Amino acid sequence: MAFALRSSAFADGGEIPSLYTCEGRDISPPLLWDEPPAGTRAFALLVHDPDAPDPAAPRMDWVHWLLWDIPAAARGLPEDAAGRGLPPGTRVGLNDWKRQGWGGPCPPVGRHRYFFELSALSAPLGDLGRATRAEVERAMRGRVLGRAVLVGTYAKKRR
């Protein structure tokens, strides 16, 4: 079976339920993945929105969640992973709100795409402090054995 990422909360290409957004409880959705490539020693997860702030005129790729050194034995993250506890050893970087942890979808206009990208790594990255996406991606160079991607969409509900 190929290395793949999925969620019991939404299908690939489907709508992310509002529970996981700024209009709901703003908790992370459950994630599951299959057997990674041989030699995997850790995982890194990046959740980002390339459609910010407006899908018709995107200007930036907004980071919603950044994790690394997820243990190689892990095969998923539970719903509300931060509240229920991340796997031991998992490190948390800065999102684009300059906070550590999950920041759910909250698009100002239009329907946005949210990419959940799980990288299988040949070695843990170690302590990178309150790292940004650029710092984690730099540390990952030459260590990525495979990547699994899940895409969800979200548009705020009209009131």
Tens-place pLDDT, residues 60-85: 999 999 999 999 999 999 999 988 99
**In a domain? residue 159:** no
**In a domain? residue 97:** yes
**In a domain? residue 143:** yes
Is pLDDT above 70 for 158?
Answer: no
The Cα-based distances of 9 to 19, 66, 98, 130 in angstroms read: 10, 20, 26, 29
pLDDT digits (tens, 9 = 90+) for 137-153: 999 999 999 999 999 99
Q: Mean pLDDT, the chain, as a whole number?
A: 96
Range of the domain at 40: 5-154
pLDDT band at 1 (very low <50, low <70, confident <90, very high): low
pLDDT of residue 159: 56
CATH number of the domain encompassing residue 57: 3.90.280.10
Percent of the chain scored above 90 by pLDDT?
96
Mean pLDDT value of segment 83-100:
96
pTM (predicted TM-score): 0.96
Domain count, the chain: 1
pLDDT of residue 157: 87
Burial of 100 (0-12, 13-18, 19+ CB in 10 A): middle
**In a domain? residue 45:** yes
* Token duo for residue 9: 């909360």
Burial of 159 (0-12, 13-18, 19+ CB in 10 A): exposed
pLDDT of residue 2: 84
Mean pLDDT value of segment 89-115:
96
**In a domain? residue 29:** yes
